Structure 1
């Protein structure tokens, strides 16, 4: 970072930051600066003007850098990080064969380490906020909250409200009430409710969780229309597709974050638009294990709220934005001759501000604006890939990468410097995760249908199917 060290950026007092470019809702602005104070953006404007208005603040000059909002991951499973590399080559609905048994083998220590490891990867990839869709591990949600808080990432923390079959609906809702009230004064944890898939909860619980979340200003995270088999199960059971079922029971509204939403009919798109529900668009998950790509460009055109999500695939925000644009071009743009597919800015916008809005935090984070939480990145734009700049938003989507992230701030505090935490031992956590993951996977009844790449290669040479 040229002559700047992390010492210039640490601390909690007011700071005047002067990068080459500030990425605002109006686009990239040169010769601008920001004042960060009390965890928020205190002022944003021309650098010379802010230096004149704040003579007691020593400007921290950041040559060769852009200051931009942190990305928002609208769909993650933090306690699944020990098995992230088990998803490669697997067919759909691996939650039954991989994620459920893996999370079932977690104890309190391993769940904490797995969640903190996922949070570290997210921060390294430029995410300042992450939505956890609720752990299946037999631990309190506060274990995941502690991991996120200790890592220094903002977390929309889901509590699973599944009550079918055999659960006591009244007890489920009582726990939901407690969860939503538990983090009222927490700086980083924002509680939410979650249901794994619509069929995992009774109609009553789907309806009551929606009402409860709406009253609390929170969201309900539900996997919707992710896989063809899930759509067909819903049709057999209810005579309705999953999104139609949620509408029928009174659970469709602005409080819903529909994760994936890939297999949508025109009628379902209308339901989303009319209800104000939000979608988590997960393009990497579609490529790795899905059945379709959500029509995100069409959603944008119809005013459907959506953000970008990783689904825990990889915590790299720039690669996610690239995948978001590429998936739209491959799935829809090529057939219609649309060479723009969102013009770059669409995916940056929905990767930050749109994601914050989808999670109910639109007035709080996701933009570099006065009064918003100071959740932001410092991006090195002096690299060979970025130095010849003509259109910064497009370049960040198509050519940006995690290695260019010099610093990550959450709530105005420097959390990562060049990929590693500034106030806790990241490498030590990774070593601990390696040791714990071995024992967890040994006792987890994980079933994979695809061999490792080495075994698949050997099987192909011997004339056997790689799927066995």
Structure 2
């Protein structure tokens, strides 16, 4: 595609796009097209039929491109982008030593910039929706909303409702009052979708866990809670409640379709049954498991048992194709090798969970995640005329195992062109990156971050020094 194609795609008005293929829930459809108007897919069908039905619309032909749903990141921490690399080589539960102090060091400008930087990386990687699990920065959460809105990405925006430290305090009603205001604050917003959040089950009182579940259900929103992520968290819950975290949530009535359980890597067979029976959704975060986790969520078992789940980055890296690969790869290593399962759900499972399944998990299943009539026009144009994908035999598998973000020509959110060949179309991406680098250095210097390991360069020097000492 050339500059004139870009200019037309970025312009206003209804459009008729005729790509090489359209990725539907049942698979890629050659010779199909879409019409887009008012931020949604007005029609999806065979190109010849749509061209006859809309003779007034000039057809934009996109040969060699796949039009597919944008990726949905079911678990993110947008204001943690300044410290992403601080997690490398670190053990589990780094939130205590890295994320809490780092977010505590953010002011309004740095929180906004960190969130917009995370949104930029997400858009570059093909994500059209990100799910923010709530910031610990001491700023109005609308700062994060503004960053997402200005970046042009759809955002499920969590408000942290922790209150375990105030169980007997008079300010308990304030937590629920703030939750109600947050859920009503973004009525009519096209890109911001409010959500409630609790860091971990022990961070909220039982009445708040119950109340947030009720409020979210009434508002058609989700409650995000980190659940059964690390062995330390499971053991804390056993000591405090005599129950594992997921069991504790069930005992207080907090499981259900409104709950988005982040990670859920350490599940017993009974807990899988609880998830299936209650309709609770899960964010499966395979890269986070590889980088700092104790286990890999049994996602293939979840899929087989009809448990709702999407894929999340947990802020690790914003690349949708690499996330789908990690989702399948982690299942293969953790479960498939031991059982001789060479498919582990096949390519379509992970593509579906990265878009339609993810949208359902975060409460947006009727709005986005699928290329279908009346759904939001959140989609990608992916160059499939490449050495990796041109000789296609099974496109869903190939997208999972061989696709990469360099093949994403364009990213659309709500029908508007947001990214073109990895660069924002409506704002200055390089300028943001430059400012983020300045603010990040200052924020990390202010924060009392504690790392268990030195940087890789320092570690290498230390090992060489020890080797020299041993040799002497």
Name the TM tier (shorter chain). Answer: over 0.9
CA distance in 2, matches of 1:51, 1:184: 36
Deviations 1:177-234 (A, max 9, x none): 0000000110100000000000000001001000010010000000000100000000
Give 1:10 shift. 1.0
1:370 aligns with 2:373: yes
CA distance in 2, matches of 1:3, 1:151: 22
RMSD of equivalent CA atoms:
0.9
Q: How does 1:57-72 map to 2 (within 5 A)?
A: 57-72=57-72
Contact 1:12 1:38 in 2 (8 A): no
CA distance in 2, matches of 1:293, 1:254: 22
**Is the partner of 1:312 in helix, strand or coil?**
coil
Instruction: Report what 2:335 is aligned to.
Output: 332
**Is the partner of 2:364 in helix, strand or coil?**
coil
Contact 1:16 1:59 in 2 (8 A): yes
Instruction: Report what 2:307 is aligned to.
Output: 304
Instruction: Report what 1:48 is aligned to.
Output: 48
Contact 2:145 2:157 in 1 (8 A): yes
- Given candidates 433, 441, 457, the residue that maps to 1:454 is 457
Instruction: Report what 2:196 is aligned to.
Output: 193
- For structure 2, the 5+ residue unaligned runs are 468-472
TM-score normalised to structure 1 length: 0.98
Instruction: Report what 2:386 is aligned to.
Output: 383
1:440 aligns with 2:443: yes
**Is the partner of 1:463 in helix, strand or coil?**
helix
Instruction: Report what 2:359 is aligned to.
Output: 356
Give 1:460 shift. 1.6
Q: How does 1:15-414 map to 2 (within 5 A)?
A: 15-166=15-166, 168-414=171-417
CA distance in 2, matches of 1:2, 1:21: 19
TM-score normalised to structure 2 length: 0.97
Contact 2:419 2:425 in 1 (8 A): yes
CA distance in 2, matches of 1:258, 1:463: 44
- The worse-fitting range, judged by mean Cα deviation, of 282-291 and 159-168 is 159-168
Give 1:2 shift. 5.5
CA distance in 1, matches of 2:349, 2:145: 31
Contact 2:68 2:379 in 1 (8 A): yes
Give 1:11 shift. 2.2
Contact 1:134 1:194 in 2 (8 A): yes
Give 1:78 shift. 0.1
CA distance in 1, matches of 2:190, 2:33: 25
